Chains A and B, each alone.
Chain A
Amino acid sequence: MTSRPSPASKPLIVARDLSRIYHAGKTRVVGLDHVDLEVGAGEMVVLKGVSGSGKSTLLALLAGLDRPTSGMLHVAGLDLLKASSTALTHFRRRKVGMVFQSFNLLPTLTVLENVCLPGLLAGDSESEVRRRARAWIERMGLGSRMHHLPGELSGGEMQRTAIARALINDPPILLADEPTGNLDSDNGGIVVRLLADLNRSHGRTVVMATHGDLADAFATRIVRLRDGRMV
């Protein structure tokens, strides 16, 4: 929130000939098959495709959670194929924020603590992190839930907490995998509008995977995958 990502001369995400092949025992499963993708700063890309088409695989690669089998992948200026694990950790801390289908809040931490977590992990000063976290939580409409544990929240509230958490380190890129998958359509709508707003008024680049069409109206681009290939 402190600084808006400056419009890059280069695209924020560049994937060329990107493949991810899984080896489960002897069988070889193609998760992603020679994908080329460019996402510019400020875009909101919606990934679509049937189950098993490779959406999560692509997001995991973009988030630096997984490494490609072959091809080229640059995200926010970092070559994710060659990056050291220290560089990847730094990348995950500063460049991307992740939102998951099943929220993945730490059950033992309160809303505030969950949101603070990435900031603390990144080594920022606690008072500063707290200040940012409070602001984001307020913005997500969770001011009254600050000290609640995840177990005490509704699904929508949990996902909004997760979004605040993804934003705490002010990353230029937000990645969301089925963020509405575990929510009813009302709550799903709220979450999608939040992400769209972050994209529009805060200039975040958003890549989200979804089955539904709630996000279609806000997308700057819709990318369709089938069997790991872009179609």
Chain B
Amino acid sequence: MKRAFFPKLFFWLHVRHVRRHPGRAVAVVLGVAIGAAVFTSVRLAMRASLDSFSRSMDAVTGAADRVVIRPGDFVPEEWVARLLARDEVASAAPFLSAYVQDEDQRSSPFLLIGIDPFLDASFRTWSRAGDSRAGWDLVTRPFTLLMTEKLARLLDRSVGDEIRLRHPRGTAAFRIAGILDKEGTGALEGGLAAVADIATFQEFTGLSGWVDRIDLKLRHPGSSRDIEALRRLLPRDLVLERPGSGKAAGQGLLRAYAANLSVLSFVSLFVGMFLIYSLVALNAASRRRETAVLLSLGATSRSVFLLFVTEGLFYGLLGWFLALPLGLPLVRWMVEGVGRTVSVLFVRVAPEDLVLSPWELAVSLVGTLVVSALAAVQPAAEAMKVSPKEAMALSAGRERHGDAGRGPVVPALALIASVWGLSRLPPAGGTAYGGYAATFALFVGFSLLSPYVLRRLGRSSAPALKRVFGPAAYLAGRSVARSGTRVAVSVGSLLTAVALFVALTIMVHSFRNTVNAWVHQTVSGDLFASPRLNEMNRHRNIFSSDQVALLKALASRADLVPFRRFYLQYRNLPYQFEVTDFAAWFPHSGYLWVEGDPASARRSLLEGTGCVVSEVFANKIGLSVGERFRDRIAGVELDLPIVGVIRDYRSQGGVVFFSLPRFREMRLAAGLLTQDEEWSGVRFFVREDRADRAGVLNRIKRTLVEKFGDRVSFIEGNELRDRILRIFDETFAITFVLLFIALVVAALGIATTLAVSVLERSVELNTLSALGGSAAQIRSMIGWEAALLVAAGEVLGLLCGLALSVLLVYGINRQSFGWTFIYEVNGATFLWALPLIFGAALAASFPVVRLALRQSPAALLREL
């Protein structure tokens, strides 16, 4: 066959066929379109968040070759001059940043950056729009700043206006000296940022003499000798590192989340694949004779194969094009939802509205086409095997309906068995590829099992159905028992969606219950107080000495548990190092232990002879009980045995806990203690024996407000715990939307499958009618078939979902985020949800039941 002839043949045989049966094709294309739309919009939304994060980080990082930092602490400013004096260094610039908020709270907290405008020029472009002498005003006039246009608009200010900003150390008035150029800095924090001179910044934040970090440009960036020389120059607690490690760490966190959402959204596309499968298979079967004729006329079997694969691709392509308009509103919603979730959970992002990344579009197009072609391969291969001789047989138009056999039970079981091995493959770059492969192995394995299950189900239920519900139900049972692989595999679409539902419900339930337990055990306390905006500023600020004194005075009313937290990195994993006063804390609460002996671990925490790490830290770093945690934090060299692994669900990495008194001693010994107590936060526990708890809390709160005004913020424990749980629930909103969409596609799948099986069996249905079957009997038969198919889908889906939930809780979550939960099945939910899904899927098949009687039974006499 000539190549040019192929499109024509495809048009003749396929497009015309579609025109005759537009309904099915529309359903299938719609299903694929929904799947592709979900997949594409999730990818685009994730990309928007990732881009926003990268741009922001790049804007901050600038053009530095190396940066000097002091983990957990500030860098003495004098090092700027000392480094500038070195031959190896071409330029050096200090950098400071903090989240501040305007007094009227028109804007959410935004990033204020402190720089030396002149030294900084070779690192970043802070140009004021339309002004090249950007920094001059900042330096010559104290308490001036430049801000982005977006921020100015939010604050309702313009150049020359005054704005009062709040920081834990106080409030100050700034004059807006200009608007920042959109390029470079506009990207910062999604355009919510301002820049001030370093001296102004230090005065405002009380950090005179200190900087966050020093950016360096080297004369010979490649020279390891130069770098070694600089390392030797720096004291041990100053670290010279590559810039952008924060970016890599943040991206690491985001990537795991991105992979999770991508896979979840891909399931809808995967479910759409079953739709394509069932339609191509139907077309292949109903055009069997046509195929035989083609072959007898000289077509090669390869071109027949191609013809049907092209048909799959055709549906995929149509679906993808339809996905674009369908996806647009979805993308908007996703960009916002994903952006919010990412900001709350991982890193602050402000994704732009919608960037139609060509790369993501290509990924979704290729994904859709690959899935579509794969779906068509099996039916195409079947069609290829048609013998040209069938063209001669008079009534060979009909498929030989033999016993459908057991179906591919062995490959199915092999696939399901492979799940264990796959899920144990180590993750690559924080992405649980093995776990995801295992997920799809489960889906496909269980789908392949469905012919066998249908056979058993149909056979075993048929006699009972006959006895209880009469011959129509019996016929349905028989027909289901012998339904070929085609019908069976399309049970897969429902199965997949139900499995996803079951697994996600169990996972989220277990997750939530564990988080709930954690929140009540570990995030305990009646009142939490810290310097203002400290959470956003990564606990960089500590209470001043007089604040500490007052807090101690309040301890007569309630137990006071002080702590200090550092935000650090351990081999690319962001983690928090938290020191707390265990002697005060343990009487009130405790940890949820995963590993280690709680009693002895508690003892060594009290003594300060060991530390406990969170499960996330242990899993991501690969350290566990008995091994040692080594790091240099705020100038203190730590080398501690890990005495326990505990649950912790902070999403920004791992946590290491250690004794606050012991840490203070170490700081003291190293001559680093800046004041008697360095606390970045405290918790109050109202004593159990106090009758008037609410009164005590209120008095403490009143005192805090009176003495500290807006420099200290506090939140009641209950409120904090509620907030954590609320954030948790919001986080899973997207998950459940994706799940719902998968269920919709699956319902579409069941309806199409049934429609296909009804249309395909019109002869059979008409025969029944001719033999005395009443309309009610025939409808009831189709109804029963639908019920049996849906039941099989649900039972298999339930089993598959149980397996998947274990995989999710212990495999994928552990590999992606490092945490596991206490596994718990919420049976009660399934008691109402599974019947509901059953009803919905059945309702989706109602139109099909009507379809069954559309044709006059007299057509029988015209059938060949």
* Interface positions of A (Cβ within 8 A of B): 56-57, 59-60, 63, 65-66, 85-86, 89-90, 92-94, 98, 100-102, 104, 106-109, 113, 117-118, 120-123, 126, 149-152, 165, 169, 177, 181-182
List CB contacts (< 8 Å) of B771-822 with chain A. 771-775, 777
B808, chain A: closest CB distance, angstroms: 39
Q: How far is the CA of A210 from the CA of B470 in the complex (A)?
A: 37
Partner of A117, one of B395, B771, B856: B771
14 A–B contacts from the bound complex (CB under 8 Å): A59-B861, A65-B769, A90-B772, A100-B863, A104-B764, A106-B764, A106-B767, A108-B478, A108-B483, A149-B402, A149-B403, A151-B400, A152-B402, A182-B394
A125, chain B: closest CB distance, angstroms: 12
Q: How far is the CA of A48 from the CA of B271 in the complex (A)?
A: 54
Partner of B861, one of A100, A121, A150: A100
Indicate whether A169 sits within 8 Å of B466 (C-beta atoms), given known contacts A65-B857, A106-B764.
no
In the bound complex, residues from chain B placing their C-beta under 8 Å from that of A152 are 402
Q: How far is the CA of A117 from the CA of B471 in the complex (A)?
A: 8
Partner of B856, one of A66, A122, A126: A66
Q: Is residue B768 contacting chain A, with contact meaning CB distance below 8 A?
A: yes
A57, chain B: closest CB distance, angstroms: 8
In the bound complex, residues from chain A placing their C-beta under 8 Å from that of B409 are none
A92 engages B478 (CB within 8 Å): no
In the bound complex, residues from chain B placing their C-beta under 8 Å from that of A113 are 478
Q: How far is the CA of A215 from the CA of B770 in the complex (A)?
A: 24
A118 engages B481 (CB within 8 Å): no
Indicate whether A177 sits within 8 Å of B861 (C-beta atoms), given known contacts A121-B777, A126-B466.
yes
A62, chain B: closest CB distance, angstroms: 11
B860 engages A100 (CB within 8 Å): yes
Partner of B773, one of A57, A121, A150, A181: A121
User: Who on chain A is nearest to B458 by CB?
Assistant: A108
Indicate whether A121 sits within 8 Å of B471 (C-beta atoms), given known contacts A100-B860, A165-B771.
yes
Q: Is residue B474 contacting chain A, with contact meaning CB distance below 8 A?
A: yes
Interface residues on B, range: 35 or more
Q: Is residue B482 contacting chain A, with contact meaning CB distance below 8 A?
A: yes
Q: How many A-B residue pairs have CB under 8 A?
A: 104
* Interface positions of B (Cβ within 8 A of A): 394-395, 398, 400-403, 466, 470-471, 474-475, 478-479, 481-483, 763-764, 766-775, 777, 856-858, 860-864
In the bound complex, residues from chain B placing their C-beta under 8 Å from that of A109 are 475, 478
Indicate whether A108 sits within 8 Å of B770 (C-beta atoms), given known contacts A60-B858, A182-B394.
no
A118 engages B772 (CB within 8 Å): yes
Q: How far is the CA of A106 from the CA of B771 in the complex (A)?
A: 11
Q: Which 8 A-B pairs have the closest CB atoms?
A: A107-B401, A93-B772, A66-B858, A120-B471, A60-B858, A108-B482, A56-B861, A89-B774
B134, chain A: closest CB distance, angstroms: 78
B770 engages A65 (CB within 8 Å): yes
In the bound complex, residues from chain B placing their C-beta under 8 Å from that of A120 are 466, 470-471, 474
Q: How far is the CA of A92 from the CA of B768 in the complex (A)?
A: 10
Q: How far is the CA of A65 from the CA of B862 in the complex (A)?
A: 12
Partner of B771, one of A101, A118, A150: A118
B401, chain A: closest CB distance, angstroms: 3
A184, chain B: closest CB distance, angstroms: 11
Q: How far is the CA of A32 from the CA of B181 in the complex (A)?
A: 87
B772 engages A65 (CB within 8 Å): no
Q: How far is the CA of A35 from the CA of B316 in the complex (A)?
A: 53
Q: How far is the CA of A182 from the CA of B394 in the complex (A)?
A: 7
In the bound complex, residues from chain A placing their C-beta under 8 Å from that of B770 are 63, 65, 92, 98, 104
Q: How far is the CA of A65 from the CA of B766 in the complex (A)?
A: 9
Q: How far is the CA of A121 from the CA of B860 in the complex (A)?
A: 19
Indicate whether A65 sits within 8 Å of B856 (C-beta atoms), given known contacts A59-B861, A107-B401.
yes
Q: How far is the CA of A122 from the CA of B481 in the complex (A)?
A: 23
Q: How far is the CA of A34 from the CA of B771 in the complex (A)?
A: 28
A121 engages B771 (CB within 8 Å): yes
In the bound complex, residues from chain B placing their C-beta under 8 Å from that of A165 are 771
A151 engages B401 (CB within 8 Å): yes
User: Who on chain A is nearest to B467 by CB?
Assistant: A126
Which of B394, B395, B772 has its CB near the most chain A CB atoms (within 10 A)? B772
Q: How far is the CA of A118 from the CA of B771 in the complex (A)?
A: 5
Q: How far is the CA of A167 from the CA of B767 in the complex (A)?
A: 15
Q: How far is the CA of A21 from the CA of B481 in the complex (A)?
A: 41
Q: How far is the CA of A56 from the CA of B768 in the complex (A)?
A: 18
User: Who on chain B is nearest to A122 by CB?
Assistant: B772
In the bound complex, residues from chain B placing their C-beta under 8 Å from that of A57 are 861
Q: How far is the CA of A160 from the CA of B206 in the complex (A)?
A: 103
B76, chain A: closest CB distance, angstroms: 85
User: Who on chain A is nearest to B776 by CB?
Assistant: A89
Q: How far is the CA of A117 from the CA of B400 in the complex (A)?
A: 21
A121 engages B772 (CB within 8 Å): yes
